[in-house]
Amino acid sequence: MDNPIIRKNPITHDWVIFAPHRASRPKDFKSTEEDRIALLYNRPKHKADCPFCRGNEHLTATEIWRLPESEEWQVRVIENKYSSVNRNLELKKYGSGLRREISGFGIHDVIIEHPHHNMTLALMSLSDIEMILHAWLRRYQEVKAHPLVRHVVIFKNQGLRAGGSLEHPHSQIYGLPVVPFEVEVRLREMARYYDINDRCLICDLIADELSEGQRVIAQNESFVALMPYADLSPYHFWILPKRHHPCFDSLNEQEIPLLAKLIRHVFGQMFQALKNPDFNLVIQSLSHYEKEFESFHWYISVIPQVKHKGGLEYAGGLYVNPVLPEVAAKEFRDVEESSGLS
C-alpha cells in the first residue's frame, strides 16, 4: 500500500502520518548505518581513558554499590559526575503568578552495565542482562524510597545520535521531585480508558495485537515485544509485561530471566536489521503505586535513532513515519528466521 495513512496513538494521542511511498528514505538511513557493526567489533575491550572500564574506577564519581561486591564487578552504580540536579538540596518552592520554580533537587546516577567497553545489549549473555535488570530494580527501589522523589525514570542513550556521550554501555536513573508532562499524559489517557471500559488500555492493546499478530516481534509467557500501531518513529518498539501492574519494581524473580531473554532476542533482531543503530531506551512506569492509578501499565519503550525530527514534528507535534509498523515488525522477524535467533 503506497498511499499515506494517518493513525492516532491511543496512549499519547499523537497523530502519525505513515508515508510508505517514501520508501527510499529507510534505505538511505540503513546504508549510512552499514558499517556500525564493524565499528563496534573494532572497538577495544578496554580503554585506558574510559572512566567506566574495569580498573579505571578512580576516574568516576562516588560509587554507590557494585554487583558483585568485588574487584571483578559486573555492574557498578555511581553518582553522575555531571548531574543536572543536586541530591543535597532542600526542596523549596518559589515564584508568584505565572512564574513558578522549585530548587533543583534530584538524584542522578549512572549504571555501568558491563566491564567491557565493546559490549552492547544485543551481544551480552543472558546472565549479563539479568544482572543489569537486578541493578535497575534495586536502584529504582532505593531512589523511589527518598521522601522528596515523586518520579523515577530509567533510561539509556546509546550512541551520539541518541544523546550518548560515552561509548561504554551504561544507563542512567533519575529521581525527580516532579512528574514529567508526558507521564501525566499517559496516566490521564490510561485512566480515561479504564473509567469508560473498566479495563486496562495496555492489557487490551496486548490482547488485540496478539490476536492480529502483524506487529508482534517476539513473545514469551510473561512479555511481548511489538511495534505500536501508531509508532512515532521508524522501528520504535515496546516491550510489555503481560501481567498488569503500574510499577516497574513489581518485576519478580521468576520474570527477570524471561525479560532478559526477550531483551536479548529483540535487541539481536534490531542489531542485525538496522546494523547496530544508536537508540534510546526508557522505562515508562509510575514510581508509586496508589489505588487511583491502578489503570497504568508499565512498559519499556525503545527508539532506534534512524530518523531525525523534521519541521512538521517541531511545528505541530505531528509525526511523519516512512515505515509502517507492520513492515518494520516483519523485518525484525525475518532477521530471526534468517539468522537463527532464539
Q: Which of 117, 170, 236, 297 is catalytic?
A: 170
C-alpha cell at 199: 479495563
Task: List the Cα angle 91/134/183 in 5-degree steps.
Answer: 45
Nearest residue to 307 via CA among 231, 217, 224:
231
Alpha helices in the chain (DSSP H): 24-32, 36-41, 126-144, 181-197, 201-212, 255-273, 311-316, 325-339
What is the DSSP-derived secondary structure letter of residue 293? G
How many CB atoms are closer than 10 A to CB 103? 14
The β-bridge partners of 6 are: 17
Instruction: Please provide residue 305's backbone torsions phi and psi, each rounded to the nearest 5 degrees.
Output: -90, 75
* C-beta separation of 76 from 56 below 8 A: no
C-alpha cell at 246: 503500574
The β-bridge partners of 284 are: 299
Q: Is 170 a catalytic residue?
A: yes
Handedness of CA 219, 300, 163, 264 (dihedral sign): negative
Which positions are annotated as active-site residues?
170
